[in-house]
Structure 1
Amino acid sequence: MNRLLAVDWGSSSLRGALIDAGGAVLEERSFARGILTVAPGTFPDVFASCFGDWMTPDTLCLVSGMAGSKQGWREAPYCSCPAGFDAIAAGLEWVEPGRIAIVPGLSIDKDGIPDVMRGEETQIFGALQLLGLDHARLVLPGTHSKWVTVENRQVTNFSTWMTGEFYALLRQHSILARMMPADEPAPDEAAFGRGVTHAMASAGLLTTAFSTRTLPLFDRMNASALPSYLSGLVIGEELKSQTLRRGESVVVMGAEALSARYGQALALLGVTVQRVGDGATWRGLQAIAETLRKPFNQAA
């Protein structure tokens, strides 16, 4: 296989990149065809309509993300942590043997409580490659943020934080929503920082959240600043549970605006940040493909 078709098939979107043998991205495509839009049994047809012309005889396709879930193309069982490139490669679910495979997610069990990820593992491995790291602490902000520990190029620990979802619930469906503008105002860095600082110094979100109501009640914060303040509260709540040390470095991967907020919050704690862009997914899939080729290269 001289070319790689790297595919990120999530819940709401479908992205792909055609990568040559040297690792250069030749072309990218994106479609609003996440797995939630695909009827059961039609995944091969959707794949062919989006990428069929790229699937030449010398092309290997690796698919990461929710395509490997129970609702996806084909379920790819989770790999248990600790897990690295080799474990992921060994756990590939082959749709067409030697040609199209789905990347498994990762699972971890702590005191009988499981946690899982799908798609993020590929971004993590890509970030390690791009930054040249064997050990790292990473955060992938989002609706459900992931905090990840990597040791010797293996994911040894991770946890999921429903920070984005709790923000949305409080912002839109709680009594706090009545104090805030319906539209999303421009980010207010000062209000966000104040929220982070208050969260770090307080007992927990169940008490700090109410300050989003009382500050405007006493004219101590404008309504337009409240969404940023609330964002600071929930992100600060997440950060204070991570036992971060001043001077530590954290890799932040995610959407630009949200990653910038995490960067600001981490800076308040004296933590430095390394940023990785969208190319991490492609680099991660490429690394998995290279792992598959190793036995042949070594045999030669």
Structure 2
Amino acid sequence: MSTPLVGLDWGSTRLRAYRFDEAGQVAETRALPWGSRQLPAGGFVEAFAQAVEGWPRAPVLACGMVGSRGGWREVPYLDTPCRLDALGGALTAVDAPDGRTVHIVPGLRDPAGPDVMRGEETQIAGVLAQASLPIGGVRLLMPGTHSKWVHVSDGAVTGFTTVMTGELFALLRGHSVLGAGLPDGGADEEAFALGVAAARTSGAAGGLSRLFSARALMLEGALAPASVADFLSGLLIGDELRMALAAGWAMPDAPVQLVGEDALCARYRQAAPAFGLILQPTSGSLAAAGLWRVATAAGLLHGRIHA
């Protein structure tokens, strides 16, 4: 079977390559450790060569941090509100030494923040490709290093907000007086729930006012050193959910779709009932589905743009 498209989901820490079949299904996947912040000696060119080695010379579409200021080529953002089909009309082309052309998807910018995203817009396109959205649109939660709360209506991203929950957790766990040097333990669900409860009851002061309680609880013997990380995880995730309710990014009993890695999404779903939130998991490779949808909108699959 022929290959009409090669897709690249190229973030800051990893590169995932997809070879599609004629039906738009992923026929082969490759995962490489070459993100925009960690590249082989030959940089983006060598990483790309490894990703597509031996694959047919099909059109290539890439999304993510490959189009950032520190990426292979900086691609301008599109402002919200933005219909996701518009992504296909705003690609930036980069010529690779092997004669291929790599088309890079633009990110999105919300002027109201201001706020920006790269890569998530293609995952959102994948959500739209897999299911019809309810009247009035849908709200998405995309957990990660930088969580995104996104509103999509009538095929357009109308706005979004970033919360740096994952990065804050990493900093607190590895570089603060709260977590640095403490042992790792197995998942402590009670400590996680304790952190969620601390965020829920923090009131107007918010979860930051409860951070130092992690150290106090440990010194008192109420929290084992190996459980501090789970407490901090619950506190930060819980505070993100508390903020979402306060800011109107989510509403009680109105489902929010989760888009992200299963293990992290499971933690958010574990915390959600404490805030009356319903978080629904989304299955499948949404980045791949989004790349196919954007390629279709761009005409890459029908020869109007050539690789």
Bin for the TM-score computed over the shorter chain: 0.7 to 0.9
The Cα offsets for residues 160-205 of structure 1, whole Å up to 9 and x where unpaired, read as 1111121122222222126x7322x111222212211221221223
TM-superposed CA distance for 1:42, in Å, is: 4.7
The Cα offsets for residues 66-98 of structure 1, whole Å up to 9 and x where unpaired, read as 111122121111111111222211111122599
Counterparts of 2:157 and 2:146, CA distance in 1 = 18
Contiguous gaps of at least 5 residues in structure 1: none
TM-superposed CA distance for 1:41, in Å, is: 8.0
Is 1:252–2:258 an aligned residue pair?
A: yes
Contact kept in structure 2, 1:85 and 1:287, CA below 8 Å: no
Contact kept in structure 1, 2:182 and 2:225, CA below 8 Å: yes
TM-superposed CA distance for 1:2, in Å, is: 5.9
Q: Which residue of 1 aligns with 2:133?
A: 133
Contiguous gaps of at least 5 residues in structure 2: none
Is 1:284–2:255 an aligned residue pair?
A: no
1:14-163 matches, within 5 Å, as: 14-38=15-39, 42-56=43-57, 59-95=58-94, 100-110=102-112, 113-133=113-133, 135-163=137-165
Alignment partner of 1:273 out of 274, 279, 290: 279
TM-superposed CA distance for 1:269, in Å, is: 2.0
Equivalent residue letter for 1:14? L
TM-score where L is the length of structure 2: 0.86
Counterparts of 1:232 and 1:37, CA distance in 2 = 30
Is 1:212–2:210 an aligned residue pair?
A: no
TM-superposed CA distance for 1:123, in Å, is: 1.0
SS of residue matched to 2:243: coil
TM-superposed CA distance for 1:17, in Å, is: 0.7
Counterparts of 1:32 and 1:65, CA distance in 2 = 15
- Indicate how the Cα distance of structure 1 residues 190 and 39 shifts in structure 2: closer, same or farther if over 3 A, else same: closer
Count of residue pairs the alignment pairs up: 291
Identity %: 41
TM-score where L is the length of structure 1: 0.88
- Indicate how the Cα distance of structure 1 residues 295 and 279 shifts in structure 2: closer, same or farther if over 3 A, else same: closer
TM-superposed CA distance for 1:34, in Å, is: 1.7
TM-superposed CA distance for 1:230, in Å, is: 1.1
Counterparts of 2:226 and 2:13, CA distance in 1 = 30
SS of residue matched to 1:176: coil
TM-superposed CA distance for 1:132, in Å, is: 2.9
The Cα offsets for residues 120-174 of structure 1, whole Å up to 9 and x where unpaired, read as 1111111222233262211111111111111112111111111112112222222
Counterparts of 2:284 and 2:14, CA distance in 1 = 14
Q: Which residue of 2 aligns with 1:235?
A: 237
Higher relative contact order (CA 8 A, sep 6+): 2
